[in-house]
Amino acid sequence: MHGGCSDDSFSDFRATLISHGRKIYETALVNPESLANLDFRDEEDICYEGYQYVKNDVAEEKLGEIPKREKPFPDEPSGKEWDEDTVNELYPRLSAKYSFTDGGDRGGRPKKPWWKFW
């Protein structure tokens, strides 16, 4: 959807997805293809860095400090491993709407190489 994903841009995407509301967030967790139903106006509707700081701002305002993370980050990714070449099969609607490798209509968005996530 965003043309690539570093660890930072994934955090931005996740926080932005949460900002769209509980129903959209929880539906996307169960069915990622549901995101194809949404019309994002621009990149900030998909991946806005500012949203990931909201939780810290609220915690600091309410508690006077940002709580320390209790659980360490995992050493390895979780979830089911998948091959980038199968994304069209795994998520056909999202791929059709946002694909940047198949030469399809990108809704006016420029075609980007896979490594350009900005």
Q: Who wins on pLDDT, 60 or 6?
A: 60
Encode pLDDT of 45-102 as tens digits.
888 899 989 988 999 999 999 888 888 877 777 778 877 788 888 999 988 887 655 4
Q: How confident is the model at residue 108 (pLDDT cuts 50, 70, 90)?
A: low
Q: If we measure between CA atoms, which residue out of 79, 77, 116 comes closest to residue 100?
A: 116
Q: DSSP letters along 14-52, please?
A: HHHHHHT-HHHHHHHHH-GGGGGG----SHHHH--GGGG
Encode pLDDT of 21-48 as tens digits.
999 999 999 999 999 999 887 777 888 8
The verdict on pTM exceeding 0.95 is no
